[in-house]
Amino acid sequence: MSIEDHPTLPPARRGPSRRGPVLAGATVALVAVGLLVAVLTTRGDDEVARALPNESSATPTTVAPTTMVNQRTELVSRLRAILRERQRAYRERDAELLSTIYTIDCPCLESDSNAIRELLSNRYVWVGGASSIQVRRLERVTNRQWLIIGTFSSKPLRIETESGRLVRSEPGGSELFQFVLAKPVGSDQWLLGRASSYKEG
């Protein structure tokens, strides 16, 4: 499958969105369109994977800043670190880095790994695309699963050949996203399990 054919979301941008290639979407792992938060694996010795409740059945609790400042700080800091590490994986074309930031069933893991392999096989490089996240709110689903809703912003992105010839470019922009962070049983690290575009109201 070519870079142009690989399905993914484009980078966050202002204005109407459009479908872009895998590498055009390289600024954030956002392969699932829609607002449904799907399955995250949290397996222990005798646990089975279980689905996160959707908005119609869940009763997430909004984090109270005065009572959970430390945990909120930890979660936001971890999400920002995940986005930085993903950028490093693309910049260095090292798919092995992705296993340290995603749950094993996150769609982003396979999608990003495939995209990085395409970078290598085509001898393309990833230039720019720095991102940031402005968090609006956090919601607890369970002690090991949290939702983070925030505005994701990205700088312009260029895909070039190793010799510097432009292959494709994408503008920067911003968009509202919902991220799911999970801490699998047996792990002491928060991982990204899902990210999707989000509409309030």
12 domain residue, yes or no: no
pTM over 0.85: no
Q: What angle (nearest 5°) sits at the alpha carbon of residue 90, between those of residues 181 and 178?
A: 25
CA–CA gap between residue 187 and residue 67 (Å, rounded) = 25
| pLDDT of 201 higher than 80 | no
16 domain residue, yes or no: no
Residues 150, 119: contact at Cβ < 8 Å?
A: no
- pLDDT, one tens digit per residue, over 5-15 is 333 333 434 33
Residue-wise DSSP of 13-27: -SSS-----TGGGTT
Nearest Cα residue to 181 out of 71, 96, 97: 71
For the chain, give the mean pLDDT. Answer: 75
103 domain residue, yes or no: yes
Pairing between strand 124-128 and 131-142? unpaired
| Local structure of 28: helix, strand or coil | coil
155 domain residue, yes or no: yes
Residue tagged 């490089």 (tokens): 125
15 domain residue, yes or no: no
Domain span holding position 142: 23-197
185 domain residue, yes or no: yes
The pLDDT of residue 179 is: 97
Alpha-carbon torsion angle 179, 185, 110, 8, nearest 10: -10
- pLDDT, one tens digit per residue, over 14-40 is 333 333 444 444 433 333 322 222 222
Residue tagged 């895909």 (tokens): 159
Residues 12, 150: contact at Cβ < 8 Å?
A: no
Phi, psi of 78 (to 5 degrees): -65, -40
Q: Worst-scoring range by mean pLDDT, 57-66, 138-147, 180-189?
A: 57-66
CA–CA gap between residue 150 and residue 131 (Å, rounded) = 13
**Assign residue 77 a region: left if phi > 0, alpha if psi is -120 to 50, beta otherwise?**
alpha
Instruction: Report the number of distinct structural domains present in the chain.
Output: 1
17 domain residue, yes or no: no
Q: Which has more confidence, 21 or 121?
A: 121
153 domain residue, yes or no: yes
Per-residue pLDDT averaged across 125-129, rounded? 95
| CATH number, domain with residue 174 | 3.10.450.50
